[in-house]
């Protein structure tokens, strides 16, 4: 549905409304350079810029989960986010050992 909406917007100049749900899986740890308090404002800036260049009315929803930079916690949170409803895109986890298993489970 989202792809169809974008194609109609590009080809016909039509306006349509859609929703993109994003999952943000980063640690809530102020000592890390990629913690939620540093990453979330950047996600907000990216959403604002995307709204400015798209010809569609998009409602962006960001669902956050604390990965704690722990492989077990990260994969558990990713699975909960994946099966709690529609998530169109995942950002994170950003910690080394959690990336591969999370990608295998939610990809």
Give the residue from 49, 81, 61 showing the smallest Cα distance to 18: 61
Contacts of 14 (CB under 8 A, 6+ apart): 8
Query: What is the per-residue pLDDT across 69-104, written as a single tens digit (0 to 9) for each?
Result: 999 999 999 989 888 887 888 898 888 888 888 888
Q: Which residues of 54-92 are buried (b: 16+ CB within 10 A; e: fewer)?
A: eebebebeebbbbbbbbbebbbebbeebbeeeebeebbb
Collapsing DSSP states into helix, strand and coil, what is residue 62?
strand
- The pLDDT of residue 66 is 94
C-alpha 82: how far from chain center? 11
Q: What is the pTM of this model?
A: 0.75
Query: What is the per-residue pLDDT across 25-54, written as a single tens digit (0 to 9) for each?
Result: 999 988 888 899 999 999 999 998 888 887
């Amino acid at each position: 549905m989202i792809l169809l909406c974008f194609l109609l917007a590009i080809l016909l100049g039509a306006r349509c409304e859609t929703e993109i749900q994003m999952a943000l899986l980063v640690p809530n740890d102020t000592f890390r350079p990629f913690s939620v308090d540093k990453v979330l404002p950047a996600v907000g800036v990216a959403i604002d810029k995307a709204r400015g260049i798209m010809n569609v009315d998009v409602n962006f929803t960001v669902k956050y989960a604390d990965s704690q930079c722990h492989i077990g916690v990260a994969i558990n949170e990713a699975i909960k986010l994946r099966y709690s409803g529609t998530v169109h895109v995942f950002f994170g986890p950003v910690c080394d050992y959690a990336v591969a298993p999370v990608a295998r489970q939610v990809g």
